[in-house]
Amino acid sequence: MAERAGTAETLERPEALSAWQIRFARAFPYAIAFLSILAGWQIAALILPSYLIPSPRRVIVRLSSELGRKAFLVTIGRSFLRLSIGFTLASLLGLAIGLVSGIWPFFRRTVRALVSILQSVPPIAWVPLFIILLGFGDYPIILVILIAAFFPMAVAVMNAVEQVEPLHIDVARLLGASRMQLITKVYAPEVVPAIVTGAQVGFGNAWRSLIAAEMVGGVNVGLGWFINFAGEIADMTAVLAGIFVIGLFSALLDGYVLERIKRRLLRWKYL
């Protein structure tokens, strides 16, 4: 029994080591990038006056004190609430329109024409119009996030729909599949990689548009507002603390959360 147990442990160790090595390989590039940014930041802090570029240590100390304040936690929470609502709506809308475009070619051509016209407009340019229509608050910012994340998702899904094997579509039609069944049984499974790609690109657009819209959208809470307000009073330590939080959360969400979802949905590619 002891020999068997020892043998089992020996067999398990390489698997555990392999899993640890995989995690290390994923985290190592982010660690190098993070240390490179800190090194450049520290060099700039040594060259320039401290009231222009505070040192990383000062910013981290300030950030730790800000995290102990309820108002700052509310600021972060409100930004994430806006991001989650706008990004979710944009992903669902882009996915639905992209899949439906596979059934109706005229609809696909029309949507492509609209996308080619509207996606050239920076999302932040819509803020004044939305503020006039909806007033100050969360709604203009959520709409800006929706616009920013919608186009990458819709274009990615439409491109994937056009590349679906025609033979699969013909076979499904011969078997009596309805239009809805074509969408759910043929198109949807084959565009999963495009959905993941569109979500990752859309998330980056949504995150940047969120911060920009909070800076100019007339709100009094949010990470963008926090940075803008700190800049107006020349509090560069708070400005860099806000930028640090934005970069950190973006790396965590994109490099960890979305990457794990991607690997679950595309598990067959990572075997």
Q: pLDDT tier at 3 (50, 70, 90 boundaries)?
A: very low
Write down the residue that tokens 């700039």 correspond to: 44
Domain borders along the chain are: 1-48, 56-270
Give which of 107, 109, 145, 110 is closest to 126, Cα–Cα.
145
In terms of residues, how long is the chain?
Answer: 271
Average predicted confidence (pLDDT) for the chain = 81
pLDDT tens string 236-262: 999 999 888 888 888 787 777 777 776
- Element counts in the chain: helices (H) and strands (E): 13, 0
Q: How does DSSP classify residue 185?
A: I
Give which of 147, 173, 21, 51 is closest to 94, Cα–Cα.
147
Q: Which of these CATH numbers, 1.10.3720.10, 3.30.70.20, 3.40.50.150, 3.90.1010.10, describes 56-270?
A: 1.10.3720.10
Q: Is the dihedral of CA 37, 203, 129, 117 positive or negative?
A: positive
Identify the pLDDT of residue 251: 79
Global pTM reads 0.78
Q: pLDDT tier at 81 (50, 70, 90 boundaries)?
A: very high
Q: How far is CA 87 from CA 59, 100, 209, 218, 233, in A?
A: 30, 20, 11, 21, 32
Cα gap 121→192, rounded to integer Å: 28
Phi, psi (rounded to 5 degrees) for 101: -65, -20
Core vs surface per residue 212-225: b (16+ CB within 10 A) or e: bbbbbbbbebbbbb
Q: How many CA atoms lie within 13 A of 184 on its CB side?
A: 5
pLDDT tens string 22-42: 666 666 777 788 888 888 888
pLDDT tens string 196-221: 888 888 888 999 999 999 988 778 88
Asked if the model's pLDDT at residue 267 lies above 60, the reply is yes
